[in-house]
Homo-oligomer: A and B are copies of this chain.
Amino acid sequence: MTEGHHWHPVPGVQLGPVAAGIRKKERLDLLLMVLAPHTRVGAVFTRNRFCAAPVQVCREHLAQGTPRALVINTGCANAGTGEGGLMDARATCHAVATQLGIAFQSVLPFSTGVILERLPMDRLLAGIAPAHAALSGDCWQEAAQAIMTTDLVPKLASRQISLAGRTVTVTGIAKGSGMIHPNMATMLGFVATDAVVDAAVLQKLTAEAADLSFNRITVDGDTSTNDSFLIVATGQAGHPEITSNASPGYAELRDALFEVSIALAQAIVRDGEGATKFITVRVEEGRDESECQKVAYAIARSPLVKTAFFASDPNLGRILAAVGYAGIDDLQVEKLKLYLDHVLVSEHGGRAQSYEEAAGQEVMKQKDITIRVVLGRGQASTTVWTCDLSYDYVRINADYRS
């Protein structure tokens, strides 16, 4: 796995990142991604009822044809924009289609940024020809920059595997950082591979990858207006096609896709607005995964827990309170164990006999911390990731539009 500045281009994918002046001048804010013919696409989108215009258009176009181009802008989410917003998203697709000489339905639009404002169509449309002119397979770093909003760092992950003697690349970019209450962060993720994989298999892998990565930093059903995650497979690697989960190479490709997706999702948490700590919440021994997730999200969403982590204060009763209101009606608190990394903090419904605050304090000072809750009810488990809540979260979100 390579991350950050180390990445591999993906045969069949060309990128055109440009500064179109959509919201601010002289920053990359428009990205054209052109896909080779016969590229397969897997996609998952937000379940928010106020889903943005581009999400609606993406769904329509995916139902009608094979995507050949993605057009992504930052600075304006084109959400809460009604019929006018749909017209804008479609006009963007028309412009790209005309520029590239492809069908209107082959273009998928994506937007992120401020809600309830219309796209500045003049500037956006004026950026399409320059983006076309800029197309290259070698500008993944700039592409990652071009989709940032309040992100402090571009998010890029890449990996290569070998299938049937051929090198297969998986490279992806993502944006998102509004992570205190992760459900409201608009997250965009685009992963590309040159693997040869059946469209139905790819769609299933895309949903599974999202569930193990981006959905672990968000709350089920609590998604933003624009969240979108795509895996595109150009099929240019030349190995025998993966047509089912029994095909040779399936497991290797799946693992590579999952690893790149998880790396991107974790990068979003690490770049959480104002984040100073990366917190893994692991819940074990639940009856089923659903109840493990309830507990994990109750902890991961609690502002009281998150401020305690910011302060490196082992005020761990706040974690127990969150477990208590997570919605498991028949939870027996006497059976529960709470660990901070390897330190047993609580058991038998109270503070563990062996627990000393100095040990908790040591763990709390770290940059990476695992909260582990053992429910003692069954065999299921889950993991989610979150960050702490700092002064800077308030500053960033109070200042976001200014």
Contact = CB atoms under 8 A, between A and B. Distances in A.
Interface of A: 47-51, 77, 79-85, 114-118, 178, 180-181, 183-184, 221-225, 301-304, 307-308, 310-311, 313, 315-318, 320-325, 327-329, 331, 333-334, 345-346, 348-351, 389-391, 393-395, 397-402
Given A114-B315, A311-B399, A401-B313, A85 B331 contact: no
Given A178-B304, A394-B307, A397-B308, A402 B184 contact: no
A183 B223 contact: no
A315 B400 contact: yes
A49 B324 contact: yes
Given A49-B333, A184-B322, A308 B398 contact: yes
Given A184-B318, A397-B303, A397-B307, A80 B346 contact: yes
A327 B221 contact: yes
A304 B184 contact: yes
A398 B303 contact: no
B391 A321 contact: no
Q: How many copies does the complex hold?
A: 2
A398 B393 CA distance: 13
Contact of A391 (B81, B85, B334, B391): B391
A317 B77 contact: yes
A321 B394 contact: no
Contact of A303 (B116, B180, B395): B180
Nearest to A396: B307
A402 B361 CA distance: 13
A193 to B, nearest CB: 31
Given A77-B317, A180-B303, A317-B114, A82 B348 contact: yes
Q: Which of A77, A181, A223 has the most CB of B within 10 A?
A: A181
Contact of A313 (B224, B321, B402): B402
B49 A116 contact: no
Contact of A350 (B84, B180, B302, B317): B84
B320 A181 contact: no
Contacts of A221: 325, 327
Contact of A48 (B51, B303, B321): B321
Nearest to A350: B82
Given A115-B318, A180-B303, 8 more contacts: A50-B325, A81-B349, A81-B351, A82-B351, A114-B317, A181-B302, A307-B397, A315-B400
A389 B400 contact: no
Give the 9 A-B residue pairs with the shortest CB-CB distance, closest first.
A115-B317, A82-B350, A50-B324, A116-B317, A311-B398, A307-B397, A48-B324, A82-B349, A49-B331
Contacts of A324: 48-51, 225
A326 B274 CA distance: 25
Nearest to A85: B350
A286 to B, nearest CB: 14
Given A316-B116, A349-B82, A321 B224 contact: yes
Nearest to A313: B401
B397 A394 contact: no
B395 A116 contact: no
Q: Which of A325, A329, A333 has the most CB of B within 10 A?
A: A325
Nearest to A51: B324
A83 B350 contact: yes
A160 to B, nearest CB: 37
B82 A321 contact: no
A304 B274 CA distance: 13
Contact of A310 (B50, B83, B394): B394
